[in-house]
Chains A and B, each alone.
Chain A
Amino acid sequence: MANPAVTASQTGPEVVAALEPVDNAVLGLWIWLSAEAVFFASLIGTYLLMRTHTNHGLTPKQVFDLPVTLVGTLTLLASSMTFAIGYAQLRAGRLARFRSWLIVTVILGLGFLSFQAFEFTGDYKRGLTLSSSPFGSAFFTLTGFHGMHVAFGVFWLLSLLVYSFRPAFKTEGVTKAQVAGLYWHFVDVVWVVIFSVVYLLGKVG
């Protein structure tokens, strides 16, 4: 066994053989995220195809409200940062601080979701709906799926929080948090792309 760190932590079922340069969970998550990237790429491609098909109704320029979106965006970006800080605390062995930062992260995640709920209700009031035009369909599908990923992330982080009170967390907490964090940052990065491709481009073009 080349990697002593792995040997030490390896007390789970020994389906594992020899080479384990990357933890199973971390590697699996990266691979999953690559599939997620293709998933969002397909949705973004769909949106780009449909964004000008407004069915004589509202256009991107008319519906998007950049300042509000910017607040949502910053909230989500901040949540990535707070998670990173919390993770650093965990690595340094300060469990209580990790938990506090995790709670802050969850709150920011919920903040982003409220922004989205606010935005969606506004759009619906103005008449942009899932069925009003291909643009509306593609917009709500893309941002809606992203929002669902955020919601799933919040659920995940909350589970992590609960789990952090179990004794097992002492040894495997870092990996569990690392995996959750990877996911959380990924969802964040996707939003940055959506912000540029949907909102900025929508205001410009």
Chain B
Amino acid sequence: MAATTERIPHVIPRSDAYHENKLLSWLSVVDHKRIAQLYLMAGLLFFLTGGIEAFIMRLQLAHPNGHVVSAVLFNQLFTMHGTTMIFLAIMPMLIGFVNAVLPLQIGARDVAYPRLNALSFWLFLAGGLLLNSSWFLGGAPNAGWFNYVPISNPPYSPGLGVDFYDIGLQIAGIGTLMTGINFLVTLVNLRAPGMRLMRLPMFAWTVLVTMVLILFAFPPLTVTLFLQTFERLFGAQFFSVAAGGNPLLWSNMFWIFGHPEVYILILPAFGIISEVVPVFSRKPLFGYTSMVLATLAIGFLSFMVWVHHMFTLGYGPFVNSIFALTSMMIAIPTGVKVFNWLATMWGGQIRFTTSMLWAIGFLFCFVLGGMSGVMLAIAPADLQYNNSYFVVAHFHYVLIGGTLFALFAGIYYWFPKMTGRMLSERLGKWNFWLTLIGFNITFFPMHFLGLMGMPRRIYTYAPGNGFTFWNEVSTFGVFILAAGILFFLVNLVTSLQRGEKAANDPWDARSLEWSISSPAPPYNFAKIPLVRGADPFWLEKMHGNGHMLPAPGQEHHHGPPNTVHMPRPTMIPLIIAVALLILGYGFIYHALVVEIVGFMVLAVGLHRSMFTPDPGEYVPIEEEPAEEVGADG
């Protein structure tokens, strides 16, 4: 945090070791753009892990009486697949985009707490590694991604798997909570002059609401994970019926977190689509104010619907009806958004770039998922759908067809700004079409399977059940889907090495991040820009000289001229995360010595982080590459 003038010598040498040694520079990273890359890479690795798990499950289900894996392993696979995809793949990749883009979009040089930002990443990684280490330490958790009691209680899940689940998610969850706090402060305090709330890019708005959801949804998860940890490790009696505990406590706490969580996963995706569609339609976003209101409404409603995951748990018609209605109400603001995107495209000069294709694919698939959502929200009908493949179809349409497609739209759109190179459009089209087709072949038949009565989470079925054909189709689709993802990986690797060099503003875009060089310099903005209206960069291209004007009265550090005072790299966040990792293993294995070591490392790390001022360092301003701005993309 801020240090005093007297204590900062005029010129602080840059912390060289942390800059020159490549490994050290990543371990001590505080720059939001590089943290973004870490999030995206780690998220991608977890995504591939979860994808392999899914692939094995589809192989097992391809034919009746399959013998690819055992029932026990199958349970571990679907549990780890869901948990990994939601907590370790999709959410971190979204947070990666938030890190990469948000500070640029609001004209800031970093986030409010750069060290805390690094801590968030390391905690996510520590939690993810701890959870996945269970594969090698006696078996992965196997009670489903929502880990219902009593199945997850000691008598029915005697191994250590569920402990890895509880503690792994706990560690990662704390990191996510920190992200929420960090970006809220960033959004309130670090906006460039003139960047009023109603001028924020739509992506920034969705991030704002997402972070509020994180802030209020994660504490119940934290608590209920603790309750279960205590029950399993120390013999507490919250859930076990024999002693008078209540299993519904877990279900409610989990879904009070869980439903907002699915909106944490979709709102930033809405934001990405809201950036991509206007740029490639050459029109401002239609109905900006209604978009903002819809985002707020969705955020608000998402806390009022959790019982729709528990229609079959016996709360009765009155409670179920109320939650059915609130659930269906979410379709209204969501519909507003969909029509606004359509209206933005209407009459626009649409460019069918890969990014735009993903956005259009998103519109189709996400709407399908929304419609099956409304079907599920009809409480009496849900008694039929619940726990069937119909639910599986629903959430894959919203999570893949929705969030993942939006992530792809985002990566094709922002890759130039993040890396300075373009992704190949040719490979991109392959990536898009194969994924789109494969996805629909894989998941559309699950609607039929569900309606025919196939339960989810069964490891096999009999030939006479009538499920064979659509299961075969579904597994066939996975191969196409996997080929699509493979094209993306090839595109990523080749473009990183020899992709076309990116211009500063390759898409002729509208928001601030495109007004600086590609890739963005370490300090983002040599001069903090003055925001004179919504779509600020577009405004300057249309009505100004094509460059952002510097905001008056912004530079006041005492360092050498032509430098920017930036946070200094530090290892403290990594140390704290390692401490929690040690503590986590200590608790799982009841190893007192390990726990004490963990606590000591934690205390040292916390103390240092609270009371070691960050003197920062002066980063020289790079020469602006002379380039014509506003070049038609």
Contacts and interface: CB of A to CB of B under 8 A. Distances in A.
A19 B219 contact: no
Contacts of A137: 227, 230-231, 236-238, 245
A18 B556 CA distance: 12
B17 interface: no
A131 interface: yes
B586 interface: no
Contacts of A24: 1, 112-113, 185, 189
Contacts of A130: 230, 234-236
Interface string B220-246: 101110110011001111100001111
Given A12-B614, A31-B215, A35-B216, A171 B4 contact: yes
Interface stretch (B20-28, B456-464, B491-499, B559-567): B559-567
Interface string A121-159: 000000000111110111011000100000000011001
Interface string A114-126: 0000000000000
A160 B611 CA distance: 8
B180 interface: yes
A104 B52 CA distance: 59
A13 B567 contact: yes
Q: Which of A1, A28, A163, A170 has the most CB of B within 10 A?
A: A28
A163 B565 CA distance: 24
Interface stretch (A3-11, A68-76, A105-113, A193-201): A3-11
Contacts of B219: 35-36, 38-39, 41-42
Contacts of A43: 223
A145 B182 CA distance: 24
Contacts of B611: 159-160, 162-163, 166, 176
B4 A35 contact: no
Contacts of A31: 180-181, 184-185, 215
Contacts of B181: 28, 31-32, 35
Main secondary structure of the interface of B (DSSP, over half): loop
A44 to B, nearest CB: 10
Nearest to A132: B237
A100 interface: no
Contacts of B606: 155
Given A35-B215, A159-B607, A50 B189 contact: no
B193 A17 contact: yes
Give the most central of B113, B189, B558: most A CB within 10 Å: B189
Given A27-B188, A39-B222, A134-B243, A12 B2 contact: yes
A104 B110 CA distance: 39
A50 B224 CA distance: 14
Contact of B185 (A19, A27, A38, A136): A27
B566 A18 contact: no
B2 A131 contact: no
A178 B238 CA distance: 38
A92 interface: no
B216 A38 contact: yes
A145 B268 CA distance: 33
B245 A42 contact: no
Nearest to A12: B2
A119 B510 CA distance: 62
B116 to A, nearest CB: 8
From B109, B236, B566, name the one whose CB has the most chain A CB atoms within 10 angstroms. B236
A131 to B, nearest CB: 4
Interface residues of B, number: 73
B242 to A, nearest CB: 9
Contact of A172 (B2, B551, B557): B2
Nearest to B552: A1
A140 B227 CA distance: 11
A12 B109 CA distance: 13
B404 to A, nearest CB: 28
Nearest to B603: A155
Interface string B1-28: 1111111100000000000000000000
B249 A19 contact: no
A53 interface: yes
B222 A10 contact: no
A42 B220 contact: yes
Nearest to B565: A14
A17 B528 contact: yes
Contacts of A11: 2-5, 8, 557-558
A49 B565 contact: no
Nearest to B218: A35
B158 interface: no
28 contacts: A11-B3, A12-B614, A15-B567, A17-B106, A17-B554, A18-B191, A27-B188, A28-B113, A31-B184, A31-B185, A35-B216, A38-B216, A39-B219, A39-B223, A42-B219, A42-B220, A53-B244, A53-B245, A130-B230, A130-B235, A133-B244, A134-B243, A137-B238, A140-B236, A141-B230, A145-B226, A168-B3, A176-B611
